[in-house]
Amino acid sequence: MSQESPTRIQRTHWLRAGIWALGFVALLWVLEATDYISGHQLDTLGIVPRTDAGLLGIVFAPVLHFGWAHLYGNTLPALILSFLVLASGVGRGIVATLIVWVVGGVGVWLMSPAGSITAGTSMLIFGWLTYLILRGMFSHRVGQIVIGVLIFLAYGSLLLGVLPGQPGVSWQGHLYGAIGGALAAWLLHDPSQKTAGKKKPTKKSA
């Protein structure tokens, strides 16, 4: 049986990643259209800190937005970063996203001001950003390091969003999403990559 070439396998990964990324962004737009038609009823499903009902928001908040402008601002970064996270393996990318989703959501639920409500994909965007920047440092893969540097140059200024001070913006979501991305980069790196290129020393008797 003939084996697929590495180039063809990589193209297959990219195709799958593109389909998943486009599908996710399409879901965001469908949900916002549904929210608009329903008179913004879905907005109530965001994260409300330290309430039992607010726990449900951990599940729904990252795919909901407060209006079209909010969604529009998140669409392009979400498309690009989610594709890059998924391109090295859809399964690994989904696990990384779930780590960001849970860590970011729980952080917002615990730390946001009482009575606030938080929603938006920016939590995932910050997580994907830090994941892409840091994963090469843990895996020692040259390709991932290069991608991390390029992503930092292109989007690194966004990381200032983890600091408080901008009214109406959940810096808690940005901060804990970024922490989730760093955690995912550490948990999901393959330690064997560090030693893959090292040869075992030859034993010689004296």
CATH fold group of domain 8-189: Rhomboid-like fold (1.20.1540)
pLDDT at 4: 65
Tokens representing 123? 């939590």
Q: pLDDT tens digits, residue range 162-200?
A: 888 777 889 999 999 999 999 999 999 776 544 444 444
Domain ranges in the chain are 8-189
pLDDT digit string, tens, across residues 93-140: 999 999 999 999 999 999 999 999 999 999 999 999 999 999 988 888
Angle between helices 142-155 and 122-139 (to 10 degrees): 140
Q: Is 17 exposed, middle or buried (0-12, 13-18, 19+ CB in 10 A)?
A: buried
User: Measuring CA to CA, how many Å separate 138 from each of 144, 147, 187, 189?
Assistant: 10, 14, 9, 6
In tens, the pLDDT along 50-78 reads 999 889 999 999 999 999 999 999 999 99
What is the Cα Rg of the chain in Å?
19
Q: pTM, whole model, 2 decimals? A: 0.87
Provide the 3-class DSSP secondary structure of residue 47: strand
Percent of the chain whose predicted confidence (pLDDT) is above 90: 69
Return the structure tokens found at 181.
């991305």
